[in-house]
Each structure stands twice: as C-alpha cells, then as structure tokens.
C-alpha cells in the first residue's frame, strides 16, 4: 500500500512541557484516520509539525516517501487547522484564487469546489461577512482545491452549531466516499467513530492506542447488574475468576471482565450463590467510554504497550 506520510519517534518540547512524545505513525492511501485526544494532548502540535508551522524537537517525518521537500509536498495536501484563516477583506473566490497561486495551480477548480461546499451563491461576498460555518466550509473548499492526496482536518466542527456540524460531516463523508485519504483530529468521539477506519489515541503527547476503530471497541464488554442486595452481590462477584472489577453507577453494578464470560453463565453462577438478579444486561463500550477508560488507565501509570 502506498504510504502518504510516515512519522517516526517525533518529539516536541515547549520548554519544560513535552507536547509530543515519541509519536510514530504511518498513513496509507485510501484510509480514514482519526486522531483522538483530550484538549492539549498534542494532536494539533503533531499536525503542526508535519504541516511545517511548528518546529520539531527531534524525530523524523516523511511525506510521500521523502522524495520532495515539505513545502512542495504540502502543495499536494489539503489541510485546515482549528479555525479558518483567510484574508477578511477578500471575497471567497478571491481567497481561493490566492490559494491557487500559492499552490501553483490554475483557477479552474475554484467554482467547482465552492459548489461542492454550497457557497456558490456567496462567492463574491467578503470573507469577513461569513458565519463561522460558512468560513469552515470555505476552508474545506480551499483544502480541496488541488484535489489533494490527503485531507487533514483539525477539529473541523469546533464551535459550530448543530446544523453546521451536520453540514461539515456530510462533506467529510462525501469526500471519504470518493476515496480521498483523510486524517481527522478531534476530541469528539462519535465524529471519529462515524467516519474513521483507523484511530490513534493520544494523551499528554503519548500514543495510547493505534489501530482500527473496531479493534478498539471489540473488547469483552461489561455487565450491568441489579439485585435486592447489591453489597452482597459485589462481594460474591469479586470471587469470580473472570471478573476484573466492579463499580457502582446509578444504583447499578457494573462488572468489568478479564476474560470472556457468557451472560447465562454469570446468571447461573450468581443463582447458585443465592442471588437473584432483577437486571442483567451485557453492554459493549461505546468508543467514548472506551476512550475515557483508555485515557483514565494511563492517568497515573506510564504507557504499557
């Protein structure tokens, strides 16, 4: 498979703060990647480094196999970061023309891309008159001008209203369907879950998980139990060899497992111990819960991989 971007052992320090710690990553053509992480986890810094706006402290990154200089490679990349940056005194199409000049391509795509993001009727309005949603859509149009090999989106729905979020997601899905490689950084998990095939979880600049989205949520799952005597239930559960831990949430006992266990087996085990359940559900973690668990696990302990 063709490698678009490879990052090896990337580090970035801001004085005492280590913003990115030993991040390695390979981006292959045709996949949709998500970078997940809470605010300040090093997502934007990592993207900033490969996009030539932040200087790395150490490590390597290579675009398209390292055959060309970063700024030349970036002409084949479309990227939008955090907030849309354009000249407020120029109109939408003037701004896009300027980007064409920078990327050294002709103006033929300007109207086509404005159409794609639904801004055709506003193409002669000044950028400063745009709403945030429109600005963000213009940014996407700008990133797509050169029909990029890879589209990098950093928090594309940040600060948008639900309608704006919906529009942006539709556009992303449309682009993904056309086979464009996408790298999407976000702290919104359902966003990543909905569009990405691969995911990278960062916390405090470190990679906690790297692999497929399915792989991340395909764990044992957990049980949600309820009975008359929950303290007794907890004590008995802790004796079971397959149980890792139990917690209580909203009056229900949550049972996390070390190894696979069928609901029927758990039920009969508890019945033998004279506990009658009033509630038994086997639940799978959503990506969100999975993510929280992953990031919490590493709150105090260093990375184990």
Partner 1 sequence: MKRLISIELQKLWKNKASRVLTLSYFILLTFIALVASINFKFLGFNIRLADQGIFNFPYIWHFNTWTAAWAKLFLAIVIVSMISNEYSYGTLKQNLIDGMSKKEFLLSKFLTVVLISLVSTIFIFALSMILGLCFSSYTEAGIIFTDLDYLLGYFVKLVGFFSFCLFLAILIKRSAFALGFLFIWFIFEGICEHLILPRVFGSDAIAEKIVNFFPIEAMANLIKEPISRFQAYKAIENQLTTNSIPKDYTMHWCDILIVLMWITIFMFLSYKLLKKRDL
CB of 70 to partner 1, least distance (A): 8
Burial of 196 (0-12, 13-18, 19+ CB in 10 A): buried
Among 39, 104, 274, 301, binds partner 1 (CB under 8 A): 104
Among 60, 65, 87, 115, binds partner 1 (CB under 8 A): 87
User: Helix crossing, 132-144 with 92-103: angle to 10°?
Assistant: 30
Based on the shown chain and the rule CB under 8 A, indicate whether residue 194 belongs to the binding site for partner 1.
no
**CA 3 – CA 288 distance, rounded (Å):** 29
Question: Measured from the CB of residue 22, what is the shortest distance to partner 1 in angstroms?
Answer: 19
Counting contacts by CB under 8 A, is residue 224 touching partner 1? no
- Report whether 33 contacts 196 (CB < 8 A): yes
Nearer to partner 1, 98 or 277 (CB): 98
Rule CB under 8 A: choose which of 18, 52, 197, 230 binds partner 1.
52
Q: Among the candidate windows 91-99, 108-116, 158-166, 198-206, which touches partner 1 by CB under 8 A?
A: 91-99
Rounded to a whole number of angstroms, the minimum distance from the CB of residue 19 to partner 1 is: 10
Nearer to partner 1, 71 or 279 (CB): 71
The correct pick among 102, 263, 276, 303 for binding partner 1 (CB under 8 A) is 102
Which 117-176 residues touch partner 1, going by CB under 8 A?
A: 142
**How many residues of this chain bind partner 1 (CB under 8 A)?**
33
55 binds partner 1 (CB under 8 A): yes
**Does the protein bind partner 1 through residue 258 (CB under 8 A)?**
no
Does residue 39 belong to the site contacting partner 1 (CB under 8 A)? no
Interface with partner 1 (CB under 8 A), residue from 8, 30, 53, 66 = 53
Three-state SS letters, the chain: CCEEEEEEEEEEEECCEEEEEEEEEEEECCCEEEEECCCCCCHHHHHHHHCCCCCCCEEEEEEHHHCCCHHHHHHHEEEEECCCCCCCCCEHHHHHHHHHHHHCCCCCHHHHHHHHCCCHHHCCCEHHHCCHHHHHHHHHHHHHCCCCCEEEEECCCCCCCHHHHHHHHHHHHHHHHCCCEEEEEECCHHHHHHHCCEEEEEECCEEEEEEEHHHHHCCCCEEEEEECCHHHHHHHHCCCCCEEEEEEECCEEEEEECCCCCHHHHHHHHHHCCCCEEEEEEECCCHHHHHHHHHHHCCCCCCCC
- Smallest gap from residue 126 Cβ to partner 1 (A): 10
181 makes contact with partner 1 (CB under 8 A)? no
User: 125 is written with which tokens?
Assistant: 């309005």
Q: Quick one: which of 65, 37, 56, 287 has its CA closest to 187?
A: 37
Shorter beta-carbon distance to partner 1: residue 41 or 246: 41
Site for partner 1 in 2-31 (CB under 8 A): 14
Binding mask 57-86 for partner 1 (x = CB under 8 A): ------------xxxxxxx-x-x-x-x-xx
Instruction: Find the binder of partner 1 among 30, 65, 66, 88 (CB under 8 A).
Output: 88
Enumerate binding residues for partner 1 (CB under 8 A).
Answer: 14, 48, 51-55, 69-75, 77, 79, 81, 83, 85-90, 94, 97-99, 101-104, 142
């Amino acid at each position: 498979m063709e490698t678009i971007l490879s990052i090896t052992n990337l580090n970035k320090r801001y004085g005492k703060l280590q913003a990115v710690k030993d991040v390695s990553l390979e981006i292959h053509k045709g996949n949709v990647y998500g970078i997940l992480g809470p605010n300040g986890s090093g997502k934007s810094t990592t993207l900033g480094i490969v996009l030539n706006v932040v200087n790395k402290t150490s490590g390597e990154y290579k675009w398209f196999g390292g055959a060309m200089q970063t700024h030349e490679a970036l002409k084949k990349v479309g990227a939008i970061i955090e907030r849309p940056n354009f000249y407020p005194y120029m109109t939408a199409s003037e701004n896009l023309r300027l980007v064409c000049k920078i990327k050294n391509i002709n103006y033929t795509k300007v109207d086509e891309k404005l159409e794609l993001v639904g801004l055709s009727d506003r193409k002669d309005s000044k950028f400063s008159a745009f709403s945030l949603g429109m600005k963000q859509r213009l940014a996407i149009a700008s990133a797509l001008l050169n029909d990029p090999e890879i589209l990098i989106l950093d928090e594309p729905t940040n600060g948008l209203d639900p309608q704006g979020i919906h529009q942006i997601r539709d556009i992303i899905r449309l682009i993904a369907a056309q086979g464009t490689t996408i790298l999407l950084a976000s702290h919104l998990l359902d966003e990543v879950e909905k569009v990405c095939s691969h995911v990278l979880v960062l916390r405090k600049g470190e990679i906690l998980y790297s692999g497929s989205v399915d792989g991340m949520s395909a764990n044992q799952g957990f049980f949600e139990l309820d009975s008359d005597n929950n303290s007794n239930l907890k004590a008995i559960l802790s004796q079971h060899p397959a149980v890792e831990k139990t917690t209580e949430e909203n009056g229900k006992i949550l049972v996390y497992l070390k190894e696979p266990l069928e609901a029927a087996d758990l039920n009969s085990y508890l019945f033998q111990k004279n506990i009658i359940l009033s509630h038994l559900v086997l639940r799978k973690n959503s990506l969100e819960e999975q993510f929280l668990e992953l990031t919490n696990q590493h709150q105090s302990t260093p990375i184990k991989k």
